[in-house]
Amino acid sequence: MQVIKLCDLRAHADSVTSVSWIGKGQHLAVGTTNGLVLLWDTVKCKTIRAMTGHAARIGTMASKASLLLTGSRDRSILYRDIRAPEQFLGTLLGHKQEVCGVRWSPDRPLIASGGNDNKLYVWDINNFRTGPCIQFNEHKAAVKALAWSPHQVMSASP
């Protein structure tokens, strides 16, 4: 196995805080301390796009085909399509502290998000502007680990 150094952000006074493979694996989204998403072509070893929108560190990302979710210390989740010219298609707002985890449902248009505010939200991506469709407020600590069941409509969190 060969390991290839893809990027070094020290010259930009920035650092990598999250990563997510896009699609079939040729593209890698890299979230940074400064709130940027750098989209890398891993075959050509070069940045093909820089996406803005967050005011703080991107701590979590999740992708599904060409769609990308980015969760930030600025308490927002940005919904992106890397094929679209816009930086992002929408903003999901609800967390009162940093967004620590985001996950796509494997078979429904749903997103689960967890935050340092001890909240777990489920969002309908087709109707996200009205806020989360389900809220779980019983967690005693930050919700950082999320997983959807591949066999039924449920998500798991610690």
Q: Is residue 4 part of a domain?
A: no
Q: Is residue 56 one of the residues assigned to a domain?
A: yes
Q: How many domains are there within the chain?
A: 1
Q: What are the pLDDT tens digits along the chain (158 aa)?
A: 888 777 777 766 889 999 999 988 899 999 999 999 999 998 888 899 999 999 999 999 999 999 999 999 999 999 999 999 999 999 999 999 999 999 999 989 999 999 999 999 999 999 988 899 999 999 999 999 999 988 765 555 66
Region class of 65: left (phi > 0), else alpha (psi between -120 and 50), else beta: left
- Which one, of 65, 62, 40, 64, lies nearest residue 51 by Cα? 40
Say which CATH number the domain at 139 has: 2.130.10.10
Q: 3-state DSSP call for residue 130?
A: helix
Which tokens in the block code for residue 58?
Answer: 């991107």
- Three-state DSSP at 131 gives coil
